[in-house]
Structure 1
Amino acid sequence: MKRLLFRIGLFTALLFLVTNCASTKNKTTNVVFPKTDLDLEEEVYIPHLKSDRKNFFPETSAETRWVDSLYNKMTFNEKVGQLFMVAAYSNKDTIHTRAIEKLVCDYNIGGLIFFQGGPMRQARLTNNYQALSKVPLFIGIDAEWGLNMRIDSTFRYPFNMTLGAIKDIKLVEKVGTSMAKESKRMGVHFNFAPVLDINTNPKNPIIGYRSFGENKVSVTEHAIALMNGAQGQGIFSTGKHFPGHGDTATDSHSTLPLVNVSLEHIKKIELYPYKRMFDEGLVSVMVAHLNVPSLEPREGYPTSVSYNVVTNLLKSELGFDGLIFTDALNMKGASNFRAPGDIDLEAFMAGNDILLFAENVPLAIEKICVAYQDGLISDARLAESVKKILRYKFKAGLNNYKPTEVINLYNDLNPKSNETLQYELYENAITVVKNDGNILPIKNLNQKIAYVKLGDDSNSSFVTTLKKYTDVTEVSETNIDSLLAKLTDYETVIIGYHKSDKSWWKSPELTVPELQVIDSIASKKKVIIDCFAKPYSLSRILNFNEIPGVIVSYQNGNIAQEVSAELIFGAIDAKGLLPVSINSSLKAGDGITTQKLNRLGFATPESVGMSSEKLKQIDSYAQKAIDGKMAPGMQILVARKGKVIYQKSFGNQTYDSDVKVKNSDLYDVASLTKMVATLPNVMQVYDHNKVTLETTLGEMLPLFKVSNKQKITFKELLSHYGRMQAWIPFYKATLDSAKMPMKKYYRKMYSEGFTKRVSDSLYLRDDYQDTIMKRIIDSPLIDKKEYRYSDFTFIILKQYLEKVMGRHLDELVTNNFYKILGMNNTLYNPLKKFDKSVIAPTEIDTYFRHDTIQGYVHDMEAAMEDGIGGHAGIFSNAMDIAKMMQLYLQKGSYGGQQYFSESTFNDFNTCWFCTEGNRRGLGFDKPQISGGGPTCGCVSMTSFGHTGFTGTMAWADPETEIVYVFLSNRTYPDSNLPNKLSKENIREDIQKVIQEAIIEK
């Protein structure tokens, strides 16, 4: 009867193929999620005929000859030995190694499945065992998320459930390809993946993360992609856990799970992926230890030893002719049913080819021998499995076995491309499931944002990245009332739920106290919940209606945290779809696309066409500068195509301290102030047509109407082409003969009329700024009209801006730019906000202020303007400076806002007097026209930037889309010493390395 039904099934399949000629190969790469499974008859898949199935490893005549020749030479016991794949470890002692060697030599086992250990140890053991084996061994590994599932010092890919959130399944295929390359490098032939279980039971204790999701179509598409990647590299995939371990509430490692569903359900749901996978060329299947009454009526009879399941269903009805593995026979789901030896015999009699993790191989071989002698096992049955095993050994290249090379093994197993892929995977997986009022991404950075941590795992990468976008305050308090009190002044609260990836099998559910925290905050504040755990974690939240923003980030690794923070602030858009349902309103397949704002994000160099190996050379130049006493420390940042790809800090704040420079520390950026404070405001004024290129200085500021500078045009002024002097040492006129500040001009304490603070205990009289301006107005012009860099330009422009805008420059730049851009670490007079310990000192001043200058501007004139100069005074870090440079690179646009027009930027980035030998743009420095200059001489002429006296540089190149920031305090301890940083071309040499790192134009 079963044969008749099978033939009818084949005829139906053939009829289907004839009448439906659309090729299964022409699929889109984006997965479609039907909302239900059982009610969709069109999703009932009819398998292809065997002859129409894809075959990654076609049989050849050479294969047949090798298999037959080898098989015919084998003794009976050698043939039986091929059926066993034994557990091996590379982290155990010599007793274990000797036991494996004995099984290889004396019992001719067919393969090993490696578990815990290290790559070098496993490679050497593999070579040792292979050398001892008469027939080369199959090497398998259970590496569902890469070798790191079993082996240390290797790469961990995302869990299947995370991959299941990705629409673009070509990315999943990339994962399969990468994992396969690493397996091949380790001498592995089988990866026991992909998991085909459809996780319809949220309480499933052992599948969960290991499943691609609860939707059969999505699970299948992702599994096929992973398999195609692996088998395309010659590594065999094993679909598991047949016939389906998803709808269980117990773990087969500890008991025999019950799957109490109908036969119709199993055929429509659980078997759907297998049917599709067989057509796509799946090599092998692993049969689970399950109690499925609708498939095996004998009570408590595991599917792994059921003839009904293995032979009748898998081999006959579904027509699978690849290798069939048992699940590990030491698992309680099997070992509680039969003792070692007996369970092996039962599994082979059921139709399995390879007996995995046999606990007693000698006894099992003896049991099989007795069964053969008793006529229970035929020669044909033994030949079926053994020849199949040998065929796949030939396909694996074991007919021409070569040992695993251990040289460069660690590097080969951890290529830089893996990290690049990891970023791409999380950028496509992280899922927004609620976005009421478009709370995501956060556009308004001029608000108070708090972060509250839940869960028991690390959150450092998440918080660090959040703070790179704006001020985010960590608030921690065990008492709910105290927590709410601390959150009073905050408008938006980000709640991060962090659970360890290492404990993936544990329940991820929020605890009652954690749920109370969420409820309490959500009732009073705008809340964004970011779940770095299984989506099921959120199922117990009752007041979802009060929570406008919900993100599922799936895992708690550093890259997941970094990418999720990027999404919150719009550096990337949300693309993921829920692979499983959270509750009745948040279902599998749900996912909201968010707006991408053009803010800086983070990635690997390779993801934007740069070489990480080449960029490592920056480190040596930084160390050269420190060792050569060119600067005690520095921050260096490189971004390309809107992604920060290199950000490091080097050295200490001073030569004689052990305070390491951190990425968040502040530096006096000196003349970069011109470009990041004064210039953007000037560009807005120009953009609003308040000045033109030909507006004269006399028209801009009445103070200059009767001066020798009245006819200097706006274009000449900003191009340093107005014949003005470079600078005047204004401070010297305020010192006595002993070079000490005169009492006429200074007080040691803040007092009426003396409020301009120039150092910790030195205040300048308020009206001295008038003297400075008068000296500039009265200063003679240089004789010849030529390029002369002058601080006067931006001292004058500060006066102009404050006159036109009616506010002080520090207020203008903070309100017009820094608050909106999220440059919350960029400001004048940083001691008003930051502790001195996070600010690098610039000099031990022995000529003016007679103090260590730390947190006060180094430039003397700017100090005399209360620290707020148009040409100097800004303190910042590399990340904040990069934001302004990216705004310029994007021609006035950043964070979804246009600050000035593209045409304005183009005007300012034009070298108006190049023909006269003046390389300058309007406010921007430009590459040298000839001879020495500010750059390496290898950037485009459209590039722009500025350098600073304290040892700073910021440069952007529109042609390569690169931003480069270098900050240091090279002036410490004495700015009058030779500028070795400049003479040794450290900043320029680093810029050259960056250009040479480009591998993709």
Structure 2
Amino acid sequence: MKKRILLLFLLVSVSKFFSQTIDPLRTVDAEKQEIWVDSIMSTMTIDEKIGQLFMVQAYSNLDEKHEAFITEMITKYHVGSLIFMQGTPEKQAVLNNKYQALSKLPLMIGFDGEWGLDMRLKNTYKFPWNMTLGAIQNDSLVRKFGEHLGKHCKRLGIHVNFAPVVDININPLNPIIGNRSFGESKENVTQKAIAFTKGMQKYGVMANAKHFPGHGDTAADSHHTLPFLDFDKARLDSIELYPYKRLFDAGVGSVMTAHLNIPSLESNANLPTSLSKNVVTDLLQKELGFNGLIITDGLNMRGATDYATSAEVDLSAIKAGNDLLLIPQDVPASVRLLKQALTLKTLSEERLDFSVRKILKAKYWMGLNNYKPVALENLQEDLNTVEDELLHRDLVKNSLTVIKDEKQNIPLSNLDFKEIAYVKLGDDNGDDFLKMLKNYTKVDEVSDTKLDGLLKKLKNYNLVIVGFHKSNNHPWKSYKFKDEELVWLQEIARKHTVILDVFTSPYSLLDLKSFSNIESIMVSYQNSKLAQELSAQAIFGAFATSGKLPVSIGEEFKEGTGLKTYSLSRLEYSIPEDVKLSSKKLAEIDQFADTIIKEKMAPGFQVLVARKGKVVFQKSYGYHTDKKELLVKNSDIYDLASLTKILASLPLIMKAEEEEKIPLSAELKDILPSFKNTNKASASVVDILSHYARLKAWIPFYTKTKDSLTGQNSSQFYRRKRTGRFNVKVAENLYIKKSYKDSIYKYIREVDQREREGYKYSDLGYYLFKEVLEEKYDKPLNILAENSFYKPLGANRMTYLPLQKFHKSVIVPTEKDDYYRNQLIHGYVHDMGAAMLGGVAGHAGLFANANDVAKIMQMYLQKGFYGGRRYLNAETVDKFNTRYYENKKVRRGLGFDKPQLNPNVKATCGCVSEESFGHSGFTGTYTWADPKSEIVYVFLSNRVYPNMENRGLIRSNMRTKIQQTIQDAIIE
């Protein structure tokens, strides 16, 4: 036992000794490093050595006077380091090269970029704040963040980035740290800081742990005063100093000393910890064994400047044990005072050399022994990459935190029973959140200037999503609710089921007196566009959430609170590279768009591309008509024409087949008795769906209703106003006789079959399936489709009879009809036969936007599953996505179009798999899904504008050329 104890003691002692003697500035080629440092030290004058102690503030957005000042600092006072502040990366790169060329020794360039270069520079990448990252449970993502920031700094010639903040934010009232901290847990803060440090230093950019010995439990800002921390040494050792000890073991290169008043460490109440030998030398270097670079916090801050003159502050900082003076306020005066101290022996040259040597070692570590100017070419592109965007998405997705969900509202399911309102609170914008919510189902924004008015408007909604949006400009912006907003929130929650989504600091929830009436709470941490979009997606179950609170919300929600949600397999919305597609290649669709619109193949159109369940390209082009009055929007709806077959009739037929209401083996006489004694009686369901039933392609029913002498619509069949017998609306001010539907089906029953066997695409079978479905389910086809599929799918912009739901301004017109309805067809189905049935038919009549078409195609691709619900059995989807007459050279499946068997036919680009399926529509629509590539493609247009003779889109094969481009965009 004694031997074990002795062995354990030795191991602990060795470990402690090792942690205290790590030299983070030592490089793998330490011998060469020492030779380089020695060679420089041997030639340096006292003035040059003193100059190395300063890191002067430089701007890239100021005038020539400032540039002259920096030039003087370098050439006259031999300043060895600069910290760049506000400006642009391009100007900073130019100035960096200019200043480096002026300096005898390479300059160390510092930067304060905690969440990215955006913290100081315009047009650079902005990653999430530390509080957001603190919610992430996968520290490897934080390490990747460090790597990306390291790459950015390296690219711009930055050598030390003043991050990470390792302050443990125990005090919710901390005015300056807050969102800049990873949280209140010392373990979480430490793990995140180590991950970040390793990531950034991997690219030769030195990390800087700040603010030593700990600024997290203060209620004051050291920029404006000297914060007071009345903690004993034991408390500081167990909490504030905890991350530093482990970061030192992990090799962090530098530490920033804070301006604090901590009596247990420094008895002089006026002396900031940054200027205290007890803190910087005795505690940091000797007791904790830190051998890296020690840099003061900004010496322009009141926490330091209130102590003495700027020169005296600088001298005190060096005497305390700091190596580098950050943002000195009077370099000439400081130089004079430091030289005087050397003369008077109150500062030894050995002490000066000690810091200068460390600075030079750090410069070697940073690669400044092989200094190269910053390349100016492609700088903007290199600092804003697709990889940055992908990482940002991962960081935000993994941070989203559900802290309460009593009714399991998140993710939202059963959309067919939800009436959803969105109410915005806070003083910042929530448009991106609302826009993304609307991608999933109908969500209405409800607002009012008075609470009573708001509650009245919310009366008919059974779910209210409240978004609390506060400024995302910087992490110390106000995050608090107004008193009025707190009252409104509680009143809404008292009367409604509520999901509260907080797009700001979780500390905002501290002001809520009660959470009892709020069923669900999500913390999204920031009000960025990406946070809004991804939070909305998480609410609808596009992906699971796993974030945990990095801080406590009183006693109600402790640090570490976080409910894991799950995915409902709904479409996500992302960028092409997220699914291994090339943005650059997909951008070529814009060129096709230019051609389509320029050559008037269609006045406008929508294109959507999804892969692996993620929409990565969704764009609208052109206008509704050639008048160019209304731009096409993603939310606008098009006449889908024959896409109706696979988006309305077919899913219902598949469902009926599963329920044995329409067996595939059944003949027409079995499912539609009125056809028992006709020439079509023995046509099977398989035959009809395969277009192999010898049915004629179509019958121009409308021509039979025209006056033979005038060519106009006969008054025998039509009226301009609705009456008891003429009550089927064909178009604006045009009603057909109710009984004419019987004539249509009589024509179909009696029309001759095609004499030859073989494939012939026909609409007629879908007239019949409409009758069968309505008889079997005793409901109109449009109601069946909506209740069975569109409502639960959240496809609220997919509908028959769109004018009953939507304003004309969001419905794209089709044709200027001069042959039947004699008007612009706008909001009414283009297909004449479907129009004569009142706009609801099995082969046409459906309207939608590309987004909602994609939902059904994705449901097919997922073998009948979507949004947490199984609509169809996987075997059913496979059964219908099969060619039954391939040996007869029929490419069609059951209802689905399939890739061409004849290379001369252009049904697809010829680049999709045999498992793929889809359909095209007469009005210029097209959709295709490929299980092999997992791509869903939707193209919607009104190519029949101004009239159906406009066949340029068809002749040019534009839809399938775009399909080829999508296929070519695959980069895996």
**Where on the TM-score scale, by shorter chain, does this alignment land: which range?**
over 0.9
Does 1:939 find its partner at 2:909? Answer: no
Q: Which residue does 2:479 correspond to in 1?
A: 508
Q: Which residue does 2:429 correspond to in 1?
A: 458
**1:774-829: CA deviation from partner (whole Å, max 9, x where unpaired):** 11111111122111000012111111101111110000000001110000011011
Closer, same or farther: CA 785–867 of 1 in aligned 2, 3 Å = same
Shift of 1:946: 0.5
Closer, same or farther: CA 223–49 of 1 in aligned 2, 3 Å = closer
Closer, same or farther: CA 198–847 of 1 in aligned 2, 3 Å = same
Does 1:350 find its partner at 2:320? Answer: yes
Closer, same or farther: CA 46–208 of 1 in aligned 2, 3 Å = farther
2:613 is aligned with what amino acid? G
**Match of 2:812, SS?**
coil
Q: Which residue does 2:554 correspond to in 1?
A: 583
Q: Which residue does 1:8 correspond to in 2?
A: none
Distance (whole Å) between structure 2 residues aligned to residue 180 and residue 232 of structure 1: 8
**Match of 1:245, SS?**
coil
**Match of 1:814, SS?**
helix
2:681 is aligned with what amino acid? Q
Does 1:408 find its partner at 2:381? Answer: no
**1:104-158: CA deviation from partner (whole Å, max 9, x where unpaired):** 1111111110110001000000000000000010011100000000000011000
Does 1:775 find its partner at 2:742? Answer: no
Alignment of 1:31-430 (within 5 A): 48-50=18-20, 57-430=27-400
**Match of 2:239, SS?**
helix
**Match of 1:341, SS?**
helix
Shift of 1:18: 2.2
**Match of 2:653, SS?**
helix
Q: Check the 8 A contact 2:639/2:846 in 1, yes or no.
A: yes
**1:371-416: CA deviation from partner (whole Å, max 9, x where unpaired):** 1111011122111110111111112111111110111110011011
Distance (whole Å) between structure 2 residues aligned to residue 644 and residue 885 of structure 1: 12
Shift of 1:14: 9.5
Distance (whole Å) between structure 1 residues aligned to residue 292 and residue 24 of structure 2: 12
- Of 479, 499, 503, the residue aligned with 1:532 is 503
Q: Which residue does 1:785 correspond to in 2?
A: 757
Shift of 1:933: 2.5
Q: Check the 8 A contact 1:13/1:46 in 2, yes or no.
A: no
Does 1:997 find its partner at 2:969? Answer: yes
- Of 599, 611, 616, the residue aligned with 2:587 is 616
**1:453-482: CA deviation from partner (whole Å, max 9, x where unpaired):** 000111111000101111111010121111
Q: Check the 8 A contact 2:24/2:253 in 1, yes or no.
A: no
Does 1:904 find its partner at 2:876? Answer: yes
Closer, same or farther: CA 763–190 of 1 in aligned 2, 3 Å = same
Q: Check the 8 A contact 2:25/2:362 in 1, yes or no.
A: no
**1:255-305: CA deviation from partner (whole Å, max 9, x where unpaired):** 111112121111000000000000001000000111111111111210110
- Of 936, 942, 964, the residue aligned with 1:963 is 936
1:235 is aligned with what amino acid? V
Q: Check the 8 A contact 1:146/1:156 in 2, yes or no.
A: yes
Closer, same or farther: CA 516–17 of 1 in aligned 2, 3 Å = farther
Shift of 1:60: 1.8
Q: Check the 8 A contact 2:209/2:254 in 1, yes or no.
A: yes
- Of 724, 744, 747, the residue aligned with 1:752 is 724
1:593 is aligned with what amino acid? K
Q: Which residue does 2:676 correspond to in 1?
A: 705
Alignment of 1:497-576 (within 5 A): 497-576=468-547
Deviates more, 1:384-393 or 1:689-698: 689-698
2:828 is aligned with what amino acid? Y
Shift of 1:605: 1.3
1:145 is aligned with what amino acid? W
Does 1:803 find its partner at 2:775? Answer: yes
Q: Check the 8 A contact 1:13/1:48 in 2, yes or no.
A: no
Shift of 1:318: 0.3
Q: Which residue does 2:887 correspond to in 1?
A: 915
**1:232-265: CA deviation from partner (whole Å, max 9, x where unpaired):** 1111100000000000111111111111212111
**Match of 2:415, SS?**
coil
Structure 1: 5+ residue stretches without partners = 1-11, 22-44
Q: Which residue does 1:850 correspond to in 2?
A: 822
Q: Which residue does 1:864 correspond to in 2?
A: 836
**1:694-739: CA deviation from partner (whole Å, max 9, x where unpaired):** 2111111112111111111111110001111110111111122433
2:142 is aligned with what amino acid? V
**1:162-204: CA deviation from partner (whole Å, max 9, x where unpaired):** 0000000101111111111111110111110000000000000
Shift of 1:975: 1.0
Distance (whole Å) between structure 2 residues aligned to residue 234 and residue 323 of structure 1: 15
Shift of 1:622: 1.5
Q: Which residue does 1:930 correspond to in 2?
A: 902
Q: Check the 8 A contact 2:471/2:477 in 1, yes or no.
A: no
- Of 11, 19, 22, the residue aligned with 1:18 is 11
1:98 is aligned with what amino acid? A
Distance (whole Å) between structure 1 residues aligned to residue 761 and residue 79 of structure 2: 81
Distance (whole Å) between structure 1 residues aligned to residue 884 and residue 610 of structure 2: 28
**1:666-698: CA deviation from partner (whole Å, max 9, x where unpaired):** 100111111111110000001112233221111
**1:476-511: CA deviation from partner (whole Å, max 9, x where unpaired):** 012111111111111011100000111431331111
Distance (whole Å) between structure 2 residues aligned to residue 143 and residue 739 of structure 1: 76
Distance (whole Å) between structure 2 residues aligned to residue 965 and residue 838 of structure 1: 18
Distance (whole Å) between structure 2 residues aligned to residue 585 and residue 929 of structure 1: 65
Shift of 1:657: 2.0
Distance (whole Å) between structure 2 residues aligned to residue 391 and residue 870 of structure 1: 78
Distance (whole Å) between structure 2 residues aligned to residue 69 and residue 890 of structure 1: 68
Q: Check the 8 A contact 2:140/2:195 in 1, yes or no.
A: yes
Distance (whole Å) between structure 1 residues aligned to residue 766 and residue 193 of structure 2: 62
What root-mean-square deviation, in Å, do the aligned CA atoms of Structure 1 and Structure 2 show? 1.5
Shift of 1:982: 1.5
Does 1:681 find its partner at 2:652? Answer: yes
Shift of 1:58: 3.4
2:456 is aligned with what amino acid? A
Q: Check the 8 A contact 2:22/2:251 in 1, yes or no.
A: no
TM-score, length-scaled by structure 1: 0.95
**Match of 1:260, SS?**
coil
Closer, same or farther: CA 13–895 of 1 in aligned 2, 3 Å = farther
Q: Aligned residues: percent identity?
A: 50
Q: Check the 8 A contact 1:739/1:848 in 2, yes or no.
A: no
Distance (whole Å) between structure 2 residues aligned to residue 415 and residue 13 of structure 1: 55
**Match of 1:710, SS?**
coil
**Match of 2:407, SS?**
helix
Distance (whole Å) between structure 2 residues aligned to residue 882 and residue 17 of structure 1: 66
Q: Check the 8 A contact 1:433/1:592 in 2, yes or no.
A: yes
Does 1:483 find its partner at 2:437? Answer: no
Distance (whole Å) between structure 2 residues aligned to residue 308 and residue 924 of structure 1: 79
Q: Check the 8 A contact 1:572/1:597 in 2, yes or no.
A: yes
Q: Check the 8 A contact 2:642/2:919 in 1, yes or no.
A: yes
Distance (whole Å) between structure 1 residues aligned to residue 626 and residue 378 of structure 2: 38
Q: Check the 8 A contact 2:926/2:940 in 1, yes or no.
A: yes
